[in-house]
Structure 1
Amino acid sequence: MTLDLPLLPDRTCGECVECCRFIPLDLPELAKPTGMLCAYCVEGAGCSVHAVRPQTCRTWFCVWRVVELSDDWRPDRSGIIVRPDGLTTGEITLYVVRETDFLRSDAFYRTLASWLEQGLSLALSVPGPVGTLPVRAVVTDYLGVALTSGDRPMFDLLLANTLMSLSAHAFEPDGVEPRFAVPDAPTIGV
């Protein structure tokens, strides 16, 4: 997906490489299954072929890069990739790639309550084993009562139940075979 929203000035991915790990790619020059770190990615440093990376990698950004969210929301810190898919149509997908304390923070709770108050729909997604499609569920109504009423303990319980239920899903293979052939890129062993 090409993001139509402008990036925030002076906000970079930094050491975060979560999209390079959890977002699947199946392009002619680059294919990697869900949950597999791209062979061109250097853990904690970023893309080793940044200058010649595919167009998809040049235009896909998580919502943390385009919306004023605190640094705690950066995916490698929060464990959440806020996906841009659906953002322009009023839906926020929180791709919870690992559970962190941030999920139980006031900042997380207040932000979700604010998004719901603004009329946005909320969805949660979790990855399965490497090479499987993530599972996703719209949770606006399910979490909404606890968010709009300010019932934080109920929200924490419902969120935990949702994540546990999604993680128990029968994950389907994503069908992506690793292929690393970015033109003009140095040869990297796979």
Structure 2
Amino acid sequence: MSLPLLPDRACGACVECCRAIPLNLPELAKPTGELCAYCVEATGCSVHAVRPQTCRIWFCLWRVVELSDDWRPDRSGVIVRPDGIEDGVITLYVLRRSDFLASIDLFATVAGWIAEGVEVALSVPGPVGTYPARAVVTDWLRPAVEEGDPADFLDRLMRSLDRLDRHDFQPDGVVARYAVV
């Protein structure tokens, strides 16, 4: 899926998708959670001009939706995934727990999505080479949202992440292969 990008918004030093997203293409395969061998930390793709089509069209929603710069994945620790957006689901892929999770910006944005009828899912990475855990948490977060209670929202969010962290992570089966030319 290719979504229209916001003008003047670039990945910059963020390379979180180059680590988090698994690829299993003829010219490039990398397990979930492994930084792509073509990626230079805090710089970006070293084969940018010839990168696979999948890498050319996949962008996190920070590049697509009006979200503050605090939402940039390398700053927030959260990738807002586009998967499911066409079905009315936004997935917050929490790479690491950060102060951003307690921010009013996160609370207000998620509350707005829920009020608009958007389903919200949380996802967390497992060990390298395993699929992430994911759960739709809209109904669980809704009471805190409806009460306008950021503290209860954060508590519910953290309890959800704790539960996802205990998931039985399954191997993604991807064996690293780098052959982009």
Class of the TM-score when normalised by the shorter of the 2 chains: over 0.9
**Cα distance per residue 1:69-97 (max 9 Å; x no partner):** 00000000000000001112211000001
**Cα distance per residue 1:103-144 (max 9 Å; x no partner):** 000111000001111110000000000000001000000011
Counterpart residue number, 2:129: 131
Give structure 1 regions of 4+ aligned residues with deviation exceeding 4 angstroms: none
1:100 and 2:105 equivalent? no
Counterpart residue number, 1:73: 71
Counterpart residue number, 2:18: 20
Counterpart residue number, 1:177: 175
Give the AA of the match of 1:39: A
Other structure's SS at 2:90 match:
strand
Alignment of 1:11-160 (within 5 A): 11-160=9-158
**Cα distance per residue 1:125-168 (max 9 Å; x no partner):** 00000000001000000011111211222111111100011011
How far apart, CA to CA, are the structure 1 residues paired with 2:174 and 2:63?
A: 27
How far apart, CA to CA, are the structure 1 residues paired with 2:55 and 2:105?
A: 29
Other structure's SS at 1:175 match:
coil
Counterpart residue number, 1:188: none
How far apart, CA to CA, are the structure 1 residues paired with 2:25 and 2:67?
A: 31
Please report the TM-score for the alignment, with normalisation by the length of structure 1. Answer: 0.94
Other structure's SS at 1:125 match:
strand
How far apart, CA to CA, are the structure 2 residues paired with 1:16 and 1:89?
A: 27
Please report the TM-score for the alignment, with normalisation by the length of structure 2. Answer: 0.98
Q: Percent identical across equivalent pairs?
A: 67
Q: Judge which range, 49-58 or 148-157, deviates more.
A: 148-157
Other structure's SS at 1:13 match:
coil
How far apart, CA to CA, are the structure 2 residues paired with 1:153 and 1:76?
A: 24
Number of aligned residues: 181
Uncovered stretches (5+) of structure 1, i.e. residues with no partner: 184-190
Give the AA of the match of 2:128: V
